[in-house]
Amino acid sequence: MRIIICDDDDLVLEQLKGYIKLFFEKILVKCPEIVCFSDGESLLADKGDKDILFLDIEMPGINGIYVGTELKKANDRIIIFIVTSYSEYLDEAMRFHVFRYLSKPLDKQRFFRNMKDAVDLYNTITVKVPIETKQGIHTLLASSIIMIEAQGRNVIVHTTLQDFQSVHNMQYWLDVLPKNCFFQTHRSFIVNFEHISDFDHSLVHLADNQFRAYLTKRKYSAFKDAYLLYLESIR
């Protein structure tokens, strides 16, 4: 992971760096690389990975709206926080699908809550899982898994690439898959929130209705709440 901060205010740069380091200390994870820029031109010239970005709007030269739009064009998976005192830019920022809006002065607890959501989303996007079959092991992004289905004694992993017959049982998949975006709707189905088309009290349709999973009535409320929370986390 590589975290970028772009702000022309040195005090804000140092505050964000401090909050980021403190966040990773609290979750007992080594702090990733943090790179700082004071203007948009320098940031756009940077060739390194950009996974999570804290972006000011009002800066010398080109503004953050232009910078964010260009970076989203280059990498639509970049997680962008808008950090500014100017709420009038919020509508423009939302057009390139920013992750969250943080107002200055920064609130530490709100920052930590939003940072947790961003790291969870990053892990969901980037985590890879091994799918072991009788023929070998295929390693895919978790996000490419549409759903897991138990068919009698067989467990089928439906992905955007193809279907795989797993040598592992459903409990294995419950333990391995990211819990913030996968949900067991029925003893025979684990679905990926990312691929849901629609659902009712008994069925979940996925991948533009190419797949469907049963949803037990007693799990409906918990499933709906978890799905709405997932949608909120990726806004």
Q: Which tens digits make up the pLDDT trace of 68-118?
A: 889 988 888 899 998 887 666 566 656 667 888 888 889 999 999 999 988
> What's the rounded Cα separation, in Å, for the pair 2 and 8?
20
Q: How would you label 164-202 residue by residue, b for 16+ Cβ within 10 Å and e otherwise?
A: bebebebeebeeebbebbbbbbbeebbbbbbbbeebeee
Instruction: Tell me what the pLDDT averaged over the chain comes to.
Output: 90
Per-residue pLDDT at 63 exceeds 70? yes
> Do residues 102 and 147 share a domain?
no
> Do residues 25 and 94 share a domain?
yes
> Do residues 14 and 108 share a domain?
yes
Last residue of a domain, one of 125, 153, 185: 125
Which tokens in the block code for residue 51? 């996974």
Domain containing residue 108: 2-125
Question: Which residue would you say has higher pLDDT here, 59 or 167?
Answer: 167
CATH number at residue 79: 3.40.50.2300
Per-residue pLDDT at 169 exceeds 90? yes
CATH number at residue 148: 2.40.50.1020
* Total domains present in the chain: 2
> Do residues 143 and 91 share a domain?
no
> Do residues 121 and 132 share a domain?
no
> Do residues 114 and 226 share a domain?
no
> What's the rounded Cα separation, in Å, for the pair 230 and 235?
9
Classify the C-alpha dihedral 110-116-118-119 as positive or negative: positive
Cα–Cα distances (Å) from 77 to 81, 93, 138, 210, in that order, read 13, 16, 23, 25
Report pTM.
0.68
Q: Please state the separation of Cα 12 from the chain's center in Å.
A: 25
List the beta bridge partners of residue 204.
199, 213
> Do residues 119 and 11 share a domain?
yes
> Do residues 152 and 102 share a domain?
no
8 A C-beta contact, residue 20 and residue 3: yes
Amino acid making up residue 13: L
> Do residues 75 and 148 share a domain?
no
List the beta bridge partners of residue 81.
54, 100
List the beta bridge partners of residue 130.
139
> What's the rounded Cα separation, in Å, for the pair 92 and 115?
22
Last residue of a domain, one of 74, 98, 125: 125
Whose CA is closest to 84, among 54, 109, 113? 54
Share of the chain above pLDDT 70, in %: 94
| Confidence label for 171 from pLDDT (cuts 50, 70 and 90) | very high
Complete edge-to-edge strand list for the sheet that includes strand 196-199: 196-199, 203-206, 211-214
What is the per-residue pLDDT across 202-229, written as a single tens digit (0 to 9) for each?
999 999 999 999 999 999 999 999 998 8
> Do residues 185 and 226 share a domain?
yes
> Do residues 13 and 104 share a domain?
yes
> Do residues 50 and 132 share a domain?
no
Which tokens in the block code for residue 204? 């979940």
The predicted pLDDT at position 57 comes to: 84
> What's the rounded Cα separation, in Å, for the pair 10 and 197?
45
Per-residue pLDDT at 189 exceeds 90? yes
